[in-house]
Amino acid sequence: MKSVIAFDVSMGHSYMVVYDAWQHCIFEGDITHTRSAFEDVRIRIEAQRKQDGVLPAIVFEATGVYSKALERFMQACGFEYALLNPLAAKMQSLSMRMHKTDRSDAHKLAEACFTHLPRNKQVQEGYYEEMRSLSRHYAELEQEIVRLRTRMHALVQMTFPELEQLFTRTSDLYLSMLQLFPHPDRVTVLSRTKVKNMILGSTGKRQSRKRAEEKADQLMSAAADAYPALSADDVRIEQLRNYAARCQTLLELKHRLIQQMVAMSQEQAEYHILKSFPGIADITAVRIIAEAGDIRRFDTANQLNAYTGIDIRRHQSGTLLYKDKINRRGNKHLRKILYYMIENMIRNQRHADNHLVDYYRKLKKQPHGKHHKVACIACVNKFLKCLFHLVTVGQRYDYAVATHHCVNS
């Protein structure tokens, strides 16, 4: 057994312990996350490697943004390390949290490595880290847009609810109309020509003058008969306009993020493999790459399933047997993307043949047909196995080959 170096990471500093091969603690102390302190750590690790003839096992617990500096230091020095998630750290040392201190946690992590040496983290290319950051930013923008739309809906119902019937609520034109005409009184004081011209100039998409005239007539008719709950000079009118403008800005930012991710992925083989699946477009392809990372780092498709969190959790005790469920301990963002991907494939099944949709139909038509969500998760499982194989062999999706493989298996 080789030496073990363990860190308990906190905000801006870590508690470091060094154990020799005979499980004796030969060093412990607090280090700050600074250049000079990390240089001392590097010297100590190199000295231990020179003494033992092999790099010691390095382990620490992932603590979100706090452990990123330590990770970067290890990667810059070329040191292999094991990064434990909090659950894995707790399972390795069940008594770890009995007396919660930085000192005791670091010692328990080191001692646990002598009975169960964790697997070193496989460092991915910087491309995958950047893609994940962009994808998480995209998800944050989506959540903020949902909140804004909820607030806008509440205000529109008090000001000009007819707008929701005249325009598609998810369109850019609707957001422009909210800024131009948040209250019926903003319409009634204008001429038909003025309203028509404002509609024509309110969106980047081309639309006919006839269509704009029709919308202008509908808008003026609705405004003349509207009875808003708020007056035209109410402060909430300006809030509504601000929400609509902010929502437009966020939608444009989302679009630019996807463009950036697509541009970064043009040289990646898995991007083109994902795009070869019917029902997968740019957004889904780049976000799967961002959340799944480098699929080649997994040894089997089952490891990819576990990372996604759709591996089966089985609970049995004596004669008591609970219904099997998915684990849900994996990447919830990836799981959500894949679930909606399958639903999109089902909705667009008429456009192209897809063996995943065929499998979904088969599950639904069984004597005891599966529930929609259960069938979708089963399709996600099949998709991940298919994707793992295609990425491993460097082959794009082909319906004939996929169905032939399913028949033979």
Does the pLDDT value for residue 133 go beyond 50? yes
CATH of domain 4-113: 3.30.420.40
Which pLDDT value is given to residue 316? Answer: 54
pLDDT tens-place string over residues 140-195: 999 999 999 999 999 999 999 999 999 999 899 999 999 999 999 999 999 999 99
310-332: average pLDDT: 65
pLDDT mean over 279-285? 94
pTM of structure: 0.82
Is the pLDDT reported for residue 300 higher than 80? yes
pLDDT at 91 over 90: no
CA torsion, ordered 129, 130, 134, 140, to nearest 10 deg: 40
Alpha-carbon distances, residue 177 vs 160, 166, 198, 199, 400 (angstroms): 11, 10, 9, 8, 48
Angle between helix 192-200 and helix 209-225 axes, rounded to 10 deg: 120
Instruction: Indicate the pLDDT class of residue 285, thresholds 50, 70 and 90.
Output: very high
First to last CA, the chain: 43
Q: Tell me the per-residue pLDDT of 37-56, one tens digit each, with 9 for 90 and over.
A: 999 999 999 999 999 999 99
* 287 within 8 A of 132, measured Cβ to Cβ: no
Both tokens of 57, joined, read 């096992």
CATH value of 129-262 in 1.10.287.4070, 1.10.260.40, 3.90.79.10, 3.40.50.720? 1.10.287.4070
Domains 4-113 and 129-262 share a fold: no
pLDDT attached to residue 349? 84
Question: Where are the chain's structural domains?
Answer: 4-113, 129-262, 268-408
pLDDT attached to residue 96: 46
* pLDDT score of 408 more than 70: no
What is the Cα–Cα distance from 261 to 125, expressed in whole angstroms? 15
